[in-house]
Structure 1
Amino acid sequence: MASRVLKSGIYSVGAIDWDRRIFDEIIPLPEGTTYNSYLIQGSEKTALLDTVDPTKIEELVTNLQELNVNIDYIISHHAEQDHSGSIQGILEIYPDADIITNPKCKEMLKDLLLIPDEKFITIEDGETLSLGDKTLKFIYTPWVHWPETMSTYLEEDKILFSCDFFGSHIAESNPFVTDEALTYRAAKRYYAEIMMPFRMFIQKNMEKLKDIPIEIVAPSHGPVYKKPELIFEAYKKWISDETKNEVVIPYVSMHGSTKEIVYYLMDILVKNGITVKPFNLTSSDVGELATSLVDASTLIIATPTVLTGPHPSAVYAAYLTNALRPKLKFVSIIGSYGWGGRTVELLKGALTNIKAEIIDPVIVKGFPKEEDFKKIDALAEEIIKKHKENGLL
């Protein structure tokens, strides 16, 4: 894909990956993605902001050669290879370029890419770099989503180059947001899968940005925002402590017993005005499950007993939830067993990061019977009560 103009002297020169369907061997990419690299031409110097995934270096090089530029600086916001992996290749073409980054990122790049120490110029939080008629201000934004990440603010044009912060995985030919609803959904999924564990750090980083006049947000994945309020307001909601009147139920059922319990419980909750989002763990998109956890108030993991513990898919759902640290208010466990086991104990032990109230689990023997359905009735009543007490219903 050819380079695209963002503003005078500012270009998007990265690559679009239409075909990539998994990221870091764990995150599904149903919409593909982009590796956004930006070129800023000042009256005296030229800076390249990040590179691209190594698989796409030819596209980056072609775009730079077509612009017929010399690169003085390579700004590295983040050491992960989808941003930094082509730095060595770019240095081979532009050997006089210096790498501008912070001390933590410098050490990571040396370890990951074996770049020699003398190629680096390190900067501190708030430091500026003049390109002549354009000034870059560097803003440390740690833990979005690695400890060394930072952003660059182009003062004259009021553009924030935010790296992974505010990103989304969408492969689009237009560099700017064209479909706000699609971008919102993709950005929420990106937040859920990558940023949600760092919610408290994001709150602090958002605070650092609040007094900076920003007219454009240019992340390292997904489209560029000409209306920054779209993504800023979304992030304010996602990182807040507010939850919605929603119950998420990841479940797996081997012989129908657990599914019977799940559907019985869902029917009661829906009839009482609660939004229920079930996910059959044998077929659901894990990214959709993660996204549902951004706003949910209650999580109920439903599983049969395999040998003496929960089904491996339920274990993974618990592990994922624990890693993502959503702002859940309530958690419970339902399911079935044949002769016994430690399902509840093991799942509770897998959710140590979740600071939610545990509502008494319901585990039934075999196919649910009348007395079991009464226990599910009681669980449903307790969930409804909790949602009402918290102003969700």
Structure 2
Amino acid sequence: MPDVVSLIRIKRDNLRPLTDPEINWLFAAYADGEVADEQMAALLMAIYLNGLDAAELRAWTGEMIASGERLDLSGLGRPTVDKHSTGGVGDKVSLVLAPLVASCGAAVPMLSGRGLGHTGGTLDKLESIRGWRASLGNDELLAALAEAGAVIAAAGSGLAPADRRLYALRDVTGTVESIPLIASSIMSKKIAEGTDALVLDVKTGSGAFMADQEDAVRLATVMAGLGAEHGVRTRALVTRMEAPLGRAVGNALEVAEAVAALSGDGPPDLMEVTLALARHMLDLAGIDADPARAIASGRALDTWKKMIKVQGGDPDAPLPRAAHRQAALPAPGDGYVARLDALAVGVAAWRLGAGRARKEDGVSYTAGVRCLAKPGDRVRAGEPVLELHADDPDRFAAALEALDGALTVTGEPPVLPPLIVAQVGA
């Protein structure tokens, strides 16, 4: 019979991989209270320092999945496919992608989260729509999927409950930034969700959780491998997040931009990433359809309206607007925007009220940043590059402080690197 102190020492001293029976015992003992939080925290630190090999990670993720229920989507009569993003600044892709892919014939069960720090949360954005609700029971979720073809909702408490306990420990012990622990956290919930296929959008750059490109590719590779090992066809794109995606950063602002995108008027960078992900999702689902045509025909927007309505929202209601606006970041001279730092813009939006510092904090649905110019755009001296939105004008000073040094203007048009950096997986 294993004991937790021995397992901690094995990982601390990197003596050997943990076996499947040891990992199975660990999760059962932790669920029963035989392993204390402080002991699990010590083991997580050892894993943070020494990692998990492929066999350990497969077993670890399998136990997290087995800690709760697994949804059965087989009765929907459509191929199921989902997408997950590691998060970024202005990343409203999910809002466009779920109804877009559903309008092409797939069922899209997208279980999403809330924002923390400078990265926005999909659920926070959608909650700016009057009446819309994130929490659905399993029967409600299946009914919404059957009716609209797509649903974006909060993950239920029954899906991978071990992940919530482990993430809470990681959050307060400095062990969040571990590729195997990140991969198992994300993939356990996605696999338990019951989807047939999954496309991952792993962000890299200043506004991404994985700023280093090599780390982002490693994470993408590990997650794609976990999906395949657990019977979910998984493909990952690594996409650049050096500047905000699109021109809107903030909850209601991003919803408005998503609706514009579904209406055929989306910013080029947002549409490039969204259409690339949509094509991969449809390919994995075995559906021969052109997502650009679904937008042009109006089908994607119709599906958006159905998706919002089945979750209690009014897709035609006006979105809330901030009480105060302020121009910001004047161009230092005539030229072209060469750099607009995503992290700085994300922190500014957070300080304006669009994000939260702790999970229990509230958010402002109206606060955020509108990008009046993006990298590659021509600007004149003194012309503002950003517009700040807030309910409380006292927030502007802290947001402006976050933007110090965020802008570079050059005399010649910059050479913009590709948005899609790499592809891994099925």
TM-score by length of 2: 0.27
Larger radius of gyration: 1
Hey, which of these two has a bigger chunk of helix by percent?
2
Hey, which of these two has a bigger chunk of strand by percent?
1
Task: Using CA pairs under 8 Å that are at least 6 residues apart, name the structure with larger relative contact order, 1 or 2.
Answer: 2
